[in-house]
Structure 1
Amino acid sequence: MKIHAPALKGKGVFFRTKGYHLLKVRHSQISQVYSLTAVTNQRKPILRDVHLGHLVIDQLRRQDQAGHTHSLAWVVIPVHIHWLFELQARSLGVVMCPLKSRSSLSLNHTTHSHGHVWQKGYHQRAVRQDEDLKTIARYIIFNPVRAGLARRVGEYPLWDAAWR
């Protein structure tokens, strides 16, 4: 959706209502549970390789070990990751920047490539207190089944949940 700026009418200048600039005003709160999705650059299915998926999982676990997050559920599928976690310290941006940059370095090093691995930004949603975390976790870990990557959750190797 584009909004034409009236003061610049006729000059071909548009302001986008959604986009990267919205990330700068993103608010995050310690002890809040978030459902987050990060997508690979141009939706390339680089994470279909289980070994490469584990490199991303290592970075998710690193955030937990550093005390920044407490992961409740996650799944890594070929073109994106879904992650349900409680923010323990810092901000979403401070958690996501090293996650994406370190996983990019690992993935590029392993595949002998270079360039962007992730799309800019990420989609996050603060989970309301009245929402059932297990229901959200089930939705997340069933993504590979819905995508046709597995017949059952247990067949897919790149997921975990606190309620296993």
Structure 2
Amino acid sequence: MARPLRLEFAGAVYHVTARGNERRQIFREKSDYRKLFEILCQVKERYQLIFYAYVFMPNHYHLLVETRGANLTRAMHFIQTLYTIYFNRKYARVGHLFQGRYRALIVDRENYLLELTRYIHLNPLRAGLVHKVENYRMSSSRDYLGMRAGEVVNTDWILSRFSAEKQKAQRMYKQFCMEGRGITWDKIREKIYGQLIVGTKEFTQEIKQRISKVKIDREIPLCRKLKERKSKEEILTLVSNHYGISMDKIFKNKGGPRKMAIYFLRKYTDMRLKILSDIFGGLHYSSITKIVKRLEEKCKIDRRLSNILKRIESKI
């Protein structure tokens, strides 16, 4: 498995997600939630982290965290290792607790940190675990609403976006959360570039410039893709030339060329899902994501399809 790109620098903000192996529960009792919370308290001091939000769900957890030093990998290793040791000892089990490597997206603080705190705090509502955001105790939502003194999270930066008066800011933040109940990950996914960055085009360009100063590791495909972004026209030309068809036929035909074009446009351009949806006749965001995922899965068992993909990719 290719190693994920971990771009680390002082002041970076990350949205981290870790899931249970085979989507199994990573918390069985209330004491398990408390244990992970205790570990967050430890790692906060040990690695000088700033936590903006967290939520512990039955089979996964989310963190919004800023690193004062370039040390996310070490901090996450500390969290995952300590909790796995605790869990395995308590329940007399062996092996991996978490599903592969954790996911870490670099976040544009000024434009998307606020939105991501809301997304994280609304997870329990979307999952049907509670009817009110403040009723879920295994998240930082209660810290933001003034129902608990924050031991881990720093709420000041987010609340200051609403009002200088804390109680007023807390009320406004609660309203802000309620207004976002219909927002799904598909909506946020529109703002993700290269499976690595959540932010504006300007912020993405800034991060890409940081990446350009790093030696390319061929085992890290995301690093390569972020450095080698292509235009829509370049991708469509490559696909149409390979299949010997006009660009118009890519959009009219729902077969292989169309799926291949969607795959490469998603992987190698800066096009957001909304733009991709528009140029392919209003194709739903989730359908675009499924096409990419299914093509990747099919390539694992279909050598002919895999070779086609590699031939086109070699020209990018």
TM-score interval, smaller chain: 0.7 to 0.9
Opposite residue 39 of structure 1, the aligned amino acid is: R
Cα deviation for residue 81 of structure 1 reads 0.6
Cross-structure match for 1:82: 62
Opposite residue 44 of structure 2, the aligned amino acid is: D
State whether residues 125 and 132 of structure 2, in contact with CA within 8 Å, keep that contact through their aligned partners in structure 1.
yes
Opposite residue 43 of structure 1, the aligned amino acid is: R
Question: Would you say 1:103 and 2:83 are equivalent positions?
Answer: yes
Question: Would you say 1:22 and 2:22 are equivalent positions?
Answer: no
Alignment map for 1:58-97 (pairs within 5 Å): 58-97=38-77
| Partner secondary structure for residue 47 of structure 1 | coil
Opposite residue 125 of structure 2, the aligned amino acid is: V
RMSD: 1.8
**Which of residues 125, 148, 153 in structure 1 aligns to 2:128?**
148
Higher RCO (CA-CA < 8 Å; seq separation 6+): 1
Greater alpha carbon shift after TM alignment, 26-35 vs 73-82:
26-35
**Which of residues 2, 26, 29 in structure 2 aligns to 1:46?**
26
Q: How many angstroms apart in 2 are the aligned matches of 1:121 and 1:46?
A: 15
Classify 1:156/1:48 alpha carbon distance in 2 versus 1 (closer, same or farther; 3 Å): farther
Cα deviation for residue 99 of structure 1 reads 0.8
Greater alpha carbon shift after TM alignment, 42-51 vs 144-153:
42-51
* 1:66-90 superposed Cα distances (whole Å, 9 cap, x missing partner): 1331111000101111000101224
State whether residues 37 and 123 of structure 1, in contact with CA within 8 Å, keep that contact through their aligned partners in structure 2.
yes
Q: How many angstroms apart in 2 are the aligned matches of 1:138 and 1:129?
A: 14
State whether residues 144 and 153 of structure 1, in contact with CA within 8 Å, keep that contact through their aligned partners in structure 2.
yes
| More strand, by proportion | 1
In structure 1, the gaps of 5 or more residues are: 1-19
Cross-structure match for 2:105: 125
* 1:44-98 superposed Cα distances (whole Å, 9 cap, x missing partner): 0232532212212222221112133111100010111100010122422111111
| More helix, by proportion | 2
* 1:2-41 superposed Cα distances (whole Å, 9 cap, x missing partner): xxxxxxxxxxxxxxxxxx4232x42111111111101111
| Partner secondary structure for residue 2 of structure 2 | helix
Moved over 6 A (4+): none
Q: How many angstroms apart in 2 are the aligned matches of 1:137 and 1:162?
A: 12
TM-score (norm 1): 0.79
* 1:97-133 superposed Cα distances (whole Å, 9 cap, x missing partner): 1110001011112223222111121111111143142
Opposite residue 85 of structure 1, the aligned amino acid is: V
Cross-structure match for 1:37: 17
| Partner secondary structure for residue 130 of structure 1 | helix
TM-score (norm 2): 0.43
State whether residues 26 and 59 of structure 2, in contact with CA within 8 Å, keep that contact through their aligned partners in structure 1.
yes
State whether residues 28 and 92 of structure 1, in contact with CA within 8 Å, keep that contact through their aligned partners in structure 2.
yes
Identity within the alignment, %: 26
In structure 2, the gaps of 5 or more residues are: 141-152, 156-169, 171-316
